[in-house]
Amino acid sequence: MRLKITLVRSTIGAIPKHRKTVAALGLKKMNSSVIQEDNPAIRGMINQVRHLVKIEKCEGESKNAAG
């Protein structure tokens, strides 16, 4: 299964560790989205920045979604 992760809040004012986590997920700008595999590592990263992102389940083929 895959997860669509969208950055819905800005990282301005976030602690540096959270900024790096958002970047490691592949998110750069507000409202940008990426599709990642659902695994424990990604789930842990999402849990750390859950106040900044929105998560949706999807069954997509592409690695990155336009956003």
The domains located in the chain, with CATH, are 2-58 (3.30.1390.20)
What is the reported pTM?
A: 0.84
Residue type for 7, please? L
Q: Where are the beta strands (DSSP E) in the chain?
A: 2-7, 33-37, 53-58
Q: What is the DSSP letter of 6?
A: E
- What is the predicted pLDDT for the residue at 23? 97
The model's pLDDT over 13-60, given as tens digits with 9 standing for 90+, comes to: 999 999 999 999 999 999 999 999 999 999 999 999 999 999 999 875
